[in-house]
């Protein structure tokens, strides 16, 4: 009986000891690995045979803060010439964690797909048309062909690029790079950028 | 003057040590050689007495007799008798296990017996919907947080076997980390109970209580098997308890449960990634002696649950597209597999409790609890990051309670004590995401006292408490270390009364103040909330919420009918809420709504009602419902996620005697559209709905053992509906028809 009666006091001492020994860890800075801070469109002119002409030129959108509340992204104007055909490659990166996200997108090409929308690609007056030209003939959009009308109805427009993740790529209509109802194929948006388009 | 021999006396018999009522105590009046036996609530009545002096003797097995001499001249006699447990030294006397009852004058409702049996297999939140005035704030079908009188999360408190549950309760998608199979009884206190239980118990308290441990040689086992068609859910629970034959007063209990469910089905489609798996365990070892009682308790809760794939949206355009569609774009199919987004949560609780009877009136108590909560949330990410949690929090909590109870045969009983809560929260590094909330250390010290005066049919209770809290936080935003030290202090008090108007009528009233310091997420949130496509911003300068709640309750019960009406007013200063700023934030990912935490004065009021009536031996009916009104009194607007008016009623048909019966119940749940909504919501409140449910319960003896069989059909007509209080109403219809089979064997 006597030992039982000591128990509360033992427990109390144990409690006091454990209470004083339990405190939070020191915080550690995290590199935001998921964030996309830079998207670059690299254009190279193609001739009629499909061979590259001249040197590549690029336009980019960047948001150094990533997703946190802060400044809005800086987006370049995309300037292209009427009547020309370009190869367009998209480079996606995370400058915070120093990661090449294009590589990850290529690795998970079955889960990702770019769509090309806005007045630049959609509608009867659209001056641009896009076709996928990725390695292995898949519909991904890391690499593709952009054709500019010879006499476009519009010489400015919105070039909207959407990257979908975890979509059903076999969904009816999803093979169209300018599929407006891309949400119906499921998944979520990883990127949604609108570049101003200027045609010379 | 002719002698009036139609007088009667009334009274109540309760345990001296915990104020729990004693049913079946024997009342004997020597002079008339007649007596009475107390009912389930410990009440008794002796009729046909003439004025005069009488000798009353009260007897109950294992307790010391009470002898009282009374003089009656009219019908006003009503007295509470407290019985003391008999001493161990007397041979043949039983020692009773401890199951501390809550002493409160506030409205209180308990879920036990048949009602709890019907709720088996459901989460804690879902189970509690059976109590009038309790609804859920849910995120899909697997995450349900109880809402009492419009309050949830950190505004209510859940006690796991007497220890305040300390998990990451701040999040809307953080369900309480507790296995309802632990409980023999789940009690809801609907009043402000900060004085008794500490800060945050503003809206109410939920007590998840196991039964008393056996104190003599006996052993019982309870087995539950539950299967449900929707989600193809399987659930098993075993509880075994026994007492030692060698050491009288020594008892143990072990209990475990496992649950597995796959994608649940709305009437027209499967909801993708809505499965869950749960594994829980608890064990108790206790000793109850003449003067000393000790208990060691451990519980482990572990769950992994999928979050509806379609609820994880990339940006505002995505969110708006699915809201406009009203249901997922993708037709799901059935699977038990759980993929990202998902949650993995484990919670461990260790409790040591001891009480010592200093003398027959005073009892000293010590309770120490240690809790460890580990929450991991996985998002849909790219590559290897999928294996890494994007939210990974470890929370340790120590709670220490030291208090004395006293009960006196004359009129007073009370509790005085101190309470310490110490908490440490750490983000586990390596998530690749700036933490939503910082690491923090919190210390809360409280001192309190409360006294109750019982005078026959009247009980008056008052108490006060003072709390002091410090919080220190630290987090890196990028490479910038941000630290804060905050202190909060507050005084709270309550006054309550309970009056037994007649044998069948009681009335109670309780006015209590309560407080809640702002939570760390409200102070420091900064980041993207995927499900809501929102950036949420905390405010370090938020003040404590302070509330004053007045709860009144009227209860009636006789052999045929029972009725309970609870009305309340709750005025809250500095009510914290998440407000859309109207701004959007643009990133490469797209556009997001920006929300900020604001404070305003609020006024909540409402009524809950429940009643039942037995038309005859076979037919009975019940009705229950609740109405809540909540306003932002500063801006004259409404708050989001306040439950709409609702009512549940049903008819039951029962044949057979107790212990061998069939019971059929057909019920109908009516839920109104919430018309009192804030100016901004992502989608309008869904329309009103009606659901039909069916239940069949069969109780039968198997030798000396007991077998209960149950069949329930929820959403009998497979109705398409959306519940305003479900955050996933933006993305999907609610759950379709669900047929559940339950087997409970007690041996």
Cβ neighbours of residue B356 under 8 Å, at least 6 residues apart? A5, A8, B291, B292, B293, B363, B364, B365
Say if A73 is an interface residue toward chain B (CB within 8 Å).
yes
CB contact under 8 A, A63 and B585: no
pLDDT band at A71 (very low <50, low <70, confident <90, very high): low
B111's tokens: 């879920």
CB contact under 8 A, B474 and A22: no
Rounded to whole angstroms, the Cα distance separating B501 from B556 reads 10
Tell me which of A3, A6, A33 to substitute to probe the interface with B (most B C-beta atoms closer than 10 Å).
Answer: A33
Question: In degrees, to the nearest 5, what angle opens at C-alpha B397 toward C-alphas B396 and B403?
Answer: 165
Determine the residue of chain A that is closest to B527 in CA distance.
A68
Rounded to whole angstroms, the Cα distance separating A192 from A159 reads 11
The three-state secondary structure class of B30 is helix
Rounded to whole angstroms, the Cα distance separating B239 from B224 reads 9
Bridge partners (DSSP) of residue B56 are B29, B68
Cβ neighbours of residue A138 under 8 Å, at least 6 residues apart? A109, A132
Supply the CATH number for residue B335's domain: 2.40.170.20
Q: Are residues B127 and B183 in the same domain?
A: yes
Q: Are residues B408 and B449 in the same domain?
A: yes
* Other Cβ atoms closer than 10 A to A188: 25
pLDDT at B92: 34
Write out pLDDT tens, residues B382-429: 777 888 898 899 999 999 999 998 887 667 888 999 999 999 999 999
Rounded to whole angstroms, the Cα distance separating B393 from B343 reads 12
Residue A101, phi-psi category: left (phi > 0), alpha (psi -120 to 50), beta (remainder): alpha
Q: Which of B366, B398, B588 sits opposite A73 (nearest CB)?
A: B588
- Kindly state whether residue B300 falls inside one of the protein's structural domains: yes
CB contact under 8 A, A189 and B432: no
Determine the residue of chain A that is closest to B429 in CA distance.
A28
CB B512 within 8 A of CB B193: yes
CB contact under 8 A, A104 and B440: no
Rounded to whole angstroms, the Cα distance separating B61 from B93 reads 7
> With contacts defined as CB-CB under 8 Å, which chain A residues touch B168?
none
Bond preceding residue B341 cis, omega within 30 of 0: yes
Which of the residue ranges B206-220, B277-291, B580-594 has the most confident prediction, judged by mean pLDDT?
Answer: B277-291
- Kindly state whether residue B281 falls inside one of the protein's structural domains: yes
Burial B713-733 (b: 16+ CB within 10 A, else e): bbbbeeeebbbbbbbbbbbbb
**A148 CA to chain B: closest CA distance, Å?**
25
Rg (CA), chain A: 26
Say if A3 is an interface residue toward chain B (CB within 8 Å).
no
* Other Cβ atoms closer than 10 A to A138: 14
- Kindly state whether residue B523 falls inside one of the protein's structural domains: yes
* Other Cβ atoms closer than 10 A to B657: 8
Residue A90's closest CA among A55, A138, A42, A45?
Answer: A42
Answer whether residue B96 shows pLDDT above 50: no
Q: Which of B380, B439, B587 sits opposite A165 (nearest CB)?
A: B380
Rounded to whole angstroms, the Cα distance separating B705 from B745 reads 7
CB B75 within 8 A of CB B188: no
Of B73-82, B86-95, B611-620, the poorest mean pLDDT is in B86-95
CB contact under 8 A, B368 and A11: yes
Q: Which of A33, A185, A193 sits opposite B432 (nearest CB)?
A: A33
Domain encompassing residue B21: 7-83
CB B694 within 8 A of CB B713: yes
Rounded average pLDDT over B618-642: 94
For chain A, the structural domain boundaries read 34-199
- Kindly state whether residue B1 falls inside one of the protein's structural domains: no
Rounded to whole angstroms, the Cα distance separating A1 from A3 reads 6
**A59 CA to chain B: closest CA distance, Å?**
14
pLDDT at B102: 56
Q: Which of B309, B310, B589 sits opposite A189 (nearest CB)?
A: B589
Determine the residue of chain B that is closest to A2 in CA distance.
B292
**B294 CA to chain A: closest CA distance, Å?**
8
**B487 CA to chain A: closest CA distance, Å?**
17
Rounded average pLDDT over B528-537: 75
From B83, B117, B136, the end of a domain falls on B83
pLDDT at B1: 42
Tell me which of A3, A13, A18, A23 to substitute to probe the interface with B (most B C-beta atoms closer than 10 Å).
Answer: A23
Q: Which of A12, A18, A168 sits opposite B398 (nearest CB)?
A: A18
Determine the residue of chain A that is closest to B395 in CA distance.
A24
Tell me which of B374, B587, B597, B731 to substitute to probe the interface with A (most A C-beta atoms closer than 10 Å).
Answer: B587
Rounded to whole angstroms, the Cα distance separating B359 from B84 reads 11
**A7 CA to chain B: closest CA distance, Å?**
8
Determine the residue of chain B that is closest to A70 in CA distance.
B585
**B573 CA to chain A: closest CA distance, Å?**
29
More confident residue, B720 or B332: B720
Answer whether residue B517 shows pLDDT above 70: yes
CB contact under 8 A, A104 and B432: no
The 3-state secondary structure of B189-244, one letter per residue: ECCCCHHHHCCCCCCEEEEEECCCCCCCCCEEEEEEEEEECCCCEEEEEEEEEEEC
Answer whether residue B59 shows pLDDT above 80: yes
Q: E-assigned strands of B115-184?
A: 134-139, 143-148, 156-160, 163-164
> With contacts defined as CB-CB under 8 Å, which chain A residues touch B528?
67
Bridge partners (DSSP) of residue A114 are A163
- Kindly state whether residue B501 falls inside one of the protein's structural domains: yes
Write out pLDDT tens, residues B125-150: 999 999 988 999 998 888 999 999 99
Rounded to whole angstroms, the Cα distance separating A161 from A196 reads 11
Q: Which of B400, B586, B588 sits opposite A19 (nearest CB)?
A: B400
pLDDT at B77: 78
Rounded to whole angstroms, the Cα distance separating B269 from B696 reads 28
CB contact under 8 A, A27 and B475: yes
Q: Which of B366, B368, B424 sits opposite A23 (nearest CB)?
A: B424
Supply the CATH number for residue B69's domain: 2.60.40.1120
Question: In degrees, to the nearest 5, what angle opens at C-alpha B375 toward C-alphas B317 and A14?
Answer: 155
Tell me which of B314, B342, B585 to substitute to probe the interface with A (most A C-beta atoms closer than 10 Å).
Answer: B314
Q: Are residues B121 and B261 in the same domain?
A: yes
Q: Which of B370, B383, B587 sits opposite A104 (nearest CB)?
A: B383
- Kindly state whether residue B95 falls inside one of the protein's structural domains: no
Which of the residue ranges A12-16, A96-100, B557-561, B676-680 has the most confident prediction, judged by mean pLDDT?
Answer: B676-680
pLDDT at A1: 42
Residue B178's closest CA among B299, B304, B353?
Answer: B299
Rounded average pLDDT over A94-100: 82
Residue B404's closest CA among B395, B396, B393, B416?
Answer: B416
B497's tokens: 């009364």
More confident residue, B591 or B596: B596
CB B122 within 8 A of CB B131: no
Say if A84 is an interface residue toward chain B (CB within 8 Å).
no
CB A72 within 8 A of CB B588: no
- Kindly state whether residue B365 falls inside one of the protein's structural domains: yes
More confident residue, B478 or A146: A146
CB contact under 8 A, A15 and B400: yes
Rounded to whole angstroms, the Cα distance separating B571 from B593 reads 30
Answer whether residue A188 shows pLDDT above 70: yes
B115's tokens: 């009602």
pLDDT band at B88 (very low <50, low <70, confident <90, very high): very low
B257's tokens: 């449960």
pLDDT at B94: 38
Of B71-75, B261-265, B432-436, B462-466, the poorest mean pLDDT is in B71-75
Counting one residue from chain A and one from chain B, the pairs whose CB atoms sit within 8 A come to 172
Phi, psi of B636 (to 5 degrees): 55, 50
pLDDT at B211: 85
Report the number of distinct structural domains present in chain B: 2
- Kindly state whether residue B88 falls inside one of the protein's structural domains: no
CB contact under 8 A, A101 and B382: yes
Q: Are residues B120 and B60 in the same domain?
A: no
Bridge partners (DSSP) of residue B205 are B157, B189
Mean pLDDT of the residues in chain B: 88
Q: Are residues B200 and B65 in the same domain?
A: no
Residue B117's closest CA among B190, B206, B180?
Answer: B180
Residue B49, phi-psi category: left (phi > 0), alpha (psi -120 to 50), beta (remainder): beta
Answer whether residue A185 shows pLDDT above 80: yes
Say if A166 is an interface residue toward chain B (CB within 8 Å).
yes
* Distance from the first to the final alpha carbon of chain B: 61
Say if A188 is an interface residue toward chain B (CB within 8 Å).
yes
Write out pLDDT tens, residues A112-121: 999 999 999 9
Half-sphere exposure of B64 (CA within 13 A, CB side): 15
Half-sphere exposure of B185 (CA within 13 A, CB side): 14
> With contacts defined as CB-CB under 8 Å, which chain A residues touch B439?
24-27
Say if A15 is an interface residue toward chain B (CB within 8 Å).
yes
Q: Which runs of consecutive H residues, i.e. helices, occur in A59-120?
A: 101-107
pLDDT band at B691 (very low <50, low <70, confident <90, very high): very high
CA distances from B55 to B47, B69, B315, B408 (A): 15, 5, 79, 21
pLDDT at A16: 54
> With contacts defined as CB-CB under 8 Å, which chain B residues touch A106?
none
Answer whether residue A8 shows pLDDT above 70: no
CB contact under 8 A, B314 and A192: yes
**A1 CA to chain B: closest CA distance, Å?**
9
CB contact under 8 A, B586 and A73: yes
* Distance from the first to the final alpha carbon of chain A: 97
Cβ neighbours of residue A48 under 8 Å, at least 6 residues apart? none
> What distance separates the 2 farthest-apart alpha carbons in chain A?
101
Cβ neighbours of residue B442 under 8 Å, at least 6 residues apart? B421, B422, B423, B424, B425, B469, B470, B471
Task: Strand A112-117: give its sheet, edge to edge.
Answer: A78-80, A188-199, A156-165, A112-117
pLDDT at B98: 44
């Amino acid at each position: 009986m006597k030992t039982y009666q000591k128990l509360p006091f033992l427990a109390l001492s144990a409690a006091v000891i454990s209470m004083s020994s339990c405190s939070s860890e020191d915080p550690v800075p995290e590199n935001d690995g998921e964030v996309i801070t830079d998207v670059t469109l690299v254009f190279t002119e193609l001739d009629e045979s499909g061979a590259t002409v001249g040197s590549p030129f690029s336009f980019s959108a960047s948001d150094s803060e990533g997703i946190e509340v802060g400044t809005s992204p800086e987006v370049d104007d995309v300037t292209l010439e009427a009547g020309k055909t370009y190869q367009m490659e998209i480079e996606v990166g995370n400058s915070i964690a120093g990661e090449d996200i294009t590589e990850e997108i290529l690795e998970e090409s079955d889960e990702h797909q770019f769509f090309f929308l806005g007045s630049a690609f959609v509608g009867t007056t659209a001056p641009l048309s896009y076709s996928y030209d990725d390695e292995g003939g898949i519909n991904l959009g890391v690499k593709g062909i952009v054709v500019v009308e010879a006499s476009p109805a519009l010489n400015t427009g919105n070039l909207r690029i959407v990257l979908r993740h975890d979509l059903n790529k076999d969904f009816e209509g999803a093979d169209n790079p300018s599929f407006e109802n891309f949400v119906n194929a499921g998944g979520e948006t990883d990127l949604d950028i609108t570049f101003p388009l200027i045609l010379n | 003057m002719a002698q009036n021999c139609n007088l009667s006396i009334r009274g109540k018999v309760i345990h001296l040590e915990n104020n729990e009522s004693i049913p079946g105590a024997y009342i004997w009046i020597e002079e008339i050689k007649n007596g009475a036996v107390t009912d389930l609530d410990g009440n008794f009545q002796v009729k046909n007495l003439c004025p005069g002096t009488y000798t009353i003797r009260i007897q109950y097995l294992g307790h010391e007799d009470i002898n009282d001499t009374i003089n009656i001249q009219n019908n006003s006699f009503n007295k509470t008798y407290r019985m003391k447990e008999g001493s161990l030294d007397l041979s043949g006397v039983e020692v009773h296990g401890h199951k501390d009852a809550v002493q409160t004058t506030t409205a209180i409702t308990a879920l036990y017996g048949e009602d709890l049996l019907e709720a088996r297999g459901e989460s804690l939140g879902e189970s509690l919907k059976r109590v009038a005035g309790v609804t859920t704030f849910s995120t899909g079908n697997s995450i349900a947080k109880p809402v009492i009188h419009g309050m949830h999360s950190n505004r209510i408190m859940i006690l796991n076997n007497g220890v305040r549950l300390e998990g990451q309760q701040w999040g809307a998608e953080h369900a309480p980390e507790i296995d309802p199979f632990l409980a023999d009884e789940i009690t809801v206190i609907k009043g402000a109970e900060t004085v008794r239980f500490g800060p945050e118990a503003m809206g109410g308290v939920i007590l998840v209580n196991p039964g008393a441990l056996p104190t003599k040689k006996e052993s019982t086992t309870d087995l539950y098997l539950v299967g449900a068609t929707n989600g193809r859910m399987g659930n098993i629970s075993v509880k075994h308890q026994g007492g030692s034959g060698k050491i009288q007063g020594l008892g143990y209990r072990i209990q475990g449960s496992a649950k597995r469910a796959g994608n649940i089905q709305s009437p027209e489609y499967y909801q993708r990634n809505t499965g869950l798996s749960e594994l829980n365990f608890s064990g108790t070892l206790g000793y109850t002696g003449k003067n000393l009682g000790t208990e060691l308790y451990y519980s482990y809760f572990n769950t992994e649950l999928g979050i509806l794939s379609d609820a994880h949206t990339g940006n505002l355009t995505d969110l708006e597209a699915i809201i406009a569609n009203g249901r997922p774009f993708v037709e799901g199919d059935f699977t038990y597999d759980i993929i990202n987004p998902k949650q993995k949560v484990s919670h461990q609780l260790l409790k040591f409790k001891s009480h010592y009877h200093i003398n027959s009136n005073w009892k000293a108590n010590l309770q120490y609890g240690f809790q460890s909560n580990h929450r991991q949330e996985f998002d849909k990410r790219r590559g290897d990051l999928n294996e890494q949690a994007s939210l990974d929090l470890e929370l340790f909590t120590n709670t220490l309670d030291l208090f004395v109870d006293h009960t006196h045969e004359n009129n007073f009983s009370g509790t005085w004590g101190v309470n310490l809560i110490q908490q440490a929260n750490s983000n586990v590094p390596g998530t690749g995401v700036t933490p939503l909330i910082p690491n923090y250390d919190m210390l809360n010290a409280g001192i309190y006292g409360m006294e109750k005066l019982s005078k026959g049919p009247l009980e008056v209770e008052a108490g006060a408490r003072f709390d002091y809290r410090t919080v220190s936080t630290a987090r890196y935003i990028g490479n910038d270390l941000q630290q804060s030290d905050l202190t909060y202090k507050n005084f709270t008090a309550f006054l309550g009364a309970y009056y037994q108007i007649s044998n069948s009528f009681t009335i109670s009233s309780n006015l209590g103040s309560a407080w809640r310091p702002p939570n760390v997420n409200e102070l420091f949130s900064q980041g993207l909330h995927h499900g809501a496509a929102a950036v949420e911003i905390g405010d370090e300068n938020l003040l404590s919420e302070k509330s004053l709640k007045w709860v009144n309750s009227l209860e009636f019960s006789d052999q045929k009918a029972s009725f309970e009406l609870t009305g309340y007013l709750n005025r809250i200063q500095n009510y914290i809420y998440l407000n859309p700023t109207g701004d959007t934030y643009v990133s490469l990912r797209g556009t997001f709504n920006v929300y900020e935490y604001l404070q305003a004065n609020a006024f909540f009021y409402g009524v809950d009602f429940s009643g039942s009536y037995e038309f005859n031996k076979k037919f009975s009916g019940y009705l229950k419902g609740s109405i809540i009104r909540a306003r932002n009194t500063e801006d004259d607007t409404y708050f989001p996620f306040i439950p709409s008016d609702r009512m549940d009623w049903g008819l039951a048909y029962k044949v057979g005697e107790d212990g061998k019966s069939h019971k059929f119940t057909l019920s109908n749940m009516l839920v109104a559209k919430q018309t009192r909504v804030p100016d901004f919501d992502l989608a309008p409140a869904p329309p009103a709905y009606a659901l039909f449910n069916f239940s069949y319960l069969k109780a039968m003896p198997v030798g000396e053992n007991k077998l209960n069989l149950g069949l329930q059909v929820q959403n009998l007509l497979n109705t398409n509906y959306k519940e305003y209080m479900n955050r996933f109403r933006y993305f999907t219809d609610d759950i379709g028809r669900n047929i559940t089979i339950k087997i409970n064997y007690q041996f």
